[in-house]
Structure 1
């Protein structure tokens, strides 16, 4: 697929790196020459310096791709530029466009301007934070097929009954069949689960479950889940403000801490039910006065990884049950998750997932990406021409780096086993490493003609 990305900030540069590594043909348009030069110095993509909302610059980008472009993604930090870029792209014959729009008041009528898909990474990240807070202890909590299947994750604790047992022995731990381990992330490597796979303390385990068995799955990982009643939010970022609004709307008690008096006053005015404290959120005395405990969740959401990590470490030392950090750097996630940080969130990962569904072939409903792995969980429909139709799971030649974690058939969830048969129209959730995604697409959609 030929893709133009307008904007080389945190989201745009990450998308460029991910999509180019995926084998897509990518051109980036960036107005700031220093940002464009920095992008060119660290990755092998063509970068054009200029205003991506202008037709002249976009014509240059289209010409560089051979006069045919499949998708334009506008993710600058300016809503107007993103909308105009999509309008110009549509005028120039690009049919699929995606715009990052932060101001909800601007979203109505955008389709008439050529914006086909609107994304808001901060809104999506705040929704994920709300799911994590509602059941603290888990590092992931993703819904598929309108909530009929869930993908949950956590760092395995010493009390886990899974330790040092091959996964094929899981049925001996319980007669339930409503959970399935799909992957283990260990020391930066992603291992797709197999029958002889053994779980170790400190592993990051991803498990597909039916909604009623989330707490049971958590117990298998040695996690004690609790519903948080108070969220303590830090960080002078839009994500922090959006999260406060959503948490307050869900009737959680919210405390916001910032050293900036102007921001504190604004948060208090916009969220009457939230308590705003003007103080240093990383100082032990500030957090100590809150009497943090088992029913609290700490959300460190500034733009600075180091600051977020420090706030989480201090809060854990003071007894907070759940500490979540916004982390940009994947190496920080690998180093800190499970060592003072219970979960990491990243708006750019959420943006990538929202956009990848339009890059993958077939009818794709959602794509989930992970902070400490380059794997994807893809929710897609099995096409009528799929060579897997009519075969049992044990007879399908899936790559070793991929696994079908769940099936929804006639609105009912299925956790597949070896004798489960694939039928046309099944909605499946496939966990796959990036090098096997094309094979997965061919298996369940049919080869590209």
Structure 2
């Protein structure tokens, strides 16, 4: 697939790395020659210097033969205009990043479709929704629903009190009608696709596909209990922080901390039921005075990875039960996890999750790039006569570094095992390492 990425910033660079690794032909366009030189040194891509709102630059980038145009420049209007023009000039599909929730309204989406833009996404809005969802599942580090909630991916770290410690994966598969299955174990820096004789250790990050009636039992395996969130502190008056506060302030007690006095004053007018505090979240004494130790949840979303990690570390040390931090520097993610941050959110992974499905030939309903394991979980609709329908899972040559976790067949929902046979039009949820994603997709096409 020929893909053009408009924008060589952090997000554009991450997309180029991810998509080029799957065999696509990538062209990156930006006005910044230094940014292009840097991305060219990191990834095997074609770079074009110029403004993607200009016809001549789009022609030079090969837009007439483009299968997918992705606009992720820093300015919203540039993204919209670039995507519209690219589609009119021949791009088969055009996607644009926006910075306003107004554009996500159904009527607004129809306008963009009429303009030729196939999909718009607002990473900060999606990140806020993920945080709010996780606050309802405090024992988990990641929680993703598929097929309207019929199947869920649940991730949790094993505590010393977990009943799973020392047991083998095979022991959870002894029932004939199992309702959950471990699809991955992250131990240190290694992601393991578990075999039946693999066992669980303290500190493991465990990824499980579960039927909706089993998620609570799965969570209990972690050794932690869910906490009802009544008091929450948000660090950072960013778009993510403001969105979270505005959606939760009517239901729980919310404090929002920001070091910028002018911003804090403006936020106090907008968030009338949120307590706005003008302090530096890295100041231990100030945070103690604002009762960080009395919070049920702490969310650090300043936009600065280092600040978020330091503040999250303080919150964890003070005994806050659920700690979430935005970490945009991918190199810092393992550090944040090692100091006990419960959940990491990253806009690059969020963007990748929303774009990746457009690069596949098969019918992909959802893709989630998992922060903790840097892998993917996907929901496919199986096409007739596809390789997946040619026998039991154990006999079709499915990639070893991927695993089919669950199947939805009409009203029936079940967990897949080696003897499971996949039918046309089934919905299947698959966990896969990045290098096998395209091979996995071929099985359902």
* 1:35 Cα offset (Å): 2.2
Which secondary structure state, in structure 2, belongs to the residue aligned with residue 190 of structure 1? strand
Structure 1 equivalent of residue 207 of structure 2: 206
- The answer to whether the 8 Å contact 2:327/2:333 transfers is yes
Compute the TM-score of the two structures, normalised by the length of structure 1: 0.93
Compute the TM-score of the two structures, normalised by the length of structure 2: 0.94
Matches of 2:44 and 2:372 in 1, distance apart? Answer: 23
Matches of 2:102 and 2:137 in 1, distance apart? Answer: 32
* 1:292 Cα offset (Å): 4.1
Aligned with 1:146 (options 141, 145, 148)? 148
How far does the alpha carbon of each residue in 1:5-41 deviate from its partner, in whole angstroms, 9 at most, with x for none? 0012221111111111121111111122232232223
Matches of 1:181 and 1:364 in 2, distance apart? Answer: 22
- The answer to whether the 8 Å contact 1:138/1:154 transfers is yes
Unpaired segments of 5 or more residues in structure 1?
none
- The answer to whether the 8 Å contact 1:181/1:193 transfers is yes
**CA RMSD after TM alignment:** 1.9
Structure 2 equivalent of residue 440 of structure 1: 440
- The answer to whether the 8 Å contact 1:229/1:253 transfers is yes
* 1:159 Cα offset (Å): 1.4
Matches of 1:401 and 1:248 in 2, distance apart? Answer: 43
Unpaired segments of 5 or more residues in structure 2?
none
Matches of 1:121 and 1:15 in 2, distance apart? Answer: 14
Provide closer, same or farther for how the CA distance between residues 197 and 346 of structure 1 changes in structure 2, counting only shifts above 3 A: same
* 1:414 Cα offset (Å): 1.4
Structure 1 equivalent of residue 80 of structure 2: 83
1:9 partnered with 2:19: no
Provide closer, same or farther for how the CA distance between residues 74 and 411 of structure 1 changes in structure 2, counting only shifts above 3 A: farther
* 1:339 Cα offset (Å): 2.2
Structure 2 equivalent of residue 241 of structure 1: 242
Provide closer, same or farther for how the CA distance between residues 273 and 411 of structure 1 changes in structure 2, counting only shifts above 3 A: farther
- The answer to whether the 8 Å contact 1:330/1:372 transfers is no
Matches of 2:112 and 2:78 in 1, distance apart? Answer: 13
* 1:176 Cα offset (Å): 7.7
Structure 1 equivalent of residue 138 of structure 2: 136
- The answer to whether the 8 Å contact 2:173/2:181 transfers is no
Structure 1 equivalent of residue 94 of structure 2: 97
1:70 partnered with 2:67: yes
The worse-fitting range, judged by mean Cα deviation, of 335-344 and 375-384 is 335-344
The worse-fitting range, judged by mean Cα deviation, of 371-380 and 343-352 is 371-380
Provide closer, same or farther for how the CA distance between residues 192 and 294 of structure 1 changes in structure 2, counting only shifts above 3 A: farther
The worse-fitting range, judged by mean Cα deviation, of 219-228 and 387-396 is 387-396
Structure 2 equivalent of residue 307 of structure 1: 307
Structure 2 equivalent of residue 111 of structure 1: 113
How far does the alpha carbon of each residue in 1:98-139 deviate from its partner, in whole angstroms, 9 at most, with x for none? 000112335622222221101111111111100111121211
Structure 1 equivalent of residue 172 of structure 2: 170
Matches of 2:239 and 2:150 in 1, distance apart? Answer: 31
How far does the alpha carbon of each residue in 1:354-377 deviate from its partner, in whole angstroms, 9 at most, with x for none? 000111221111101022333211
Which secondary structure state, in structure 1, belongs to the residue aligned with residue 359 of structure 2? coil
Matches of 1:235 and 1:390 in 2, distance apart? Answer: 52
Structure 2 equivalent of residue 361 of structure 1: 361
Structure 1 equivalent of residue 330 of structure 2: 330
Matches of 1:417 and 1:344 in 2, distance apart? Answer: 30
- The answer to whether the 8 Å contact 2:227/2:296 transfers is no
1:429 partnered with 2:426: no
Provide closer, same or farther for how the CA distance between residues 211 and 282 of structure 1 changes in structure 2, counting only shifts above 3 A: farther
Which secondary structure state, in structure 2, belongs to the residue aligned with residue 364 of structure 1? strand
Displacement over 3 Å in runs of 4+: 104-107, 290-295
Matches of 1:419 and 1:294 in 2, distance apart? Answer: 50
1:259-408 equivalence runs, <5 A: 259-292=259-292, 296-389=296-389, 391-408=391-408
The worse-fitting range, judged by mean Cα deviation, of 320-329 and 32-41 is 32-41
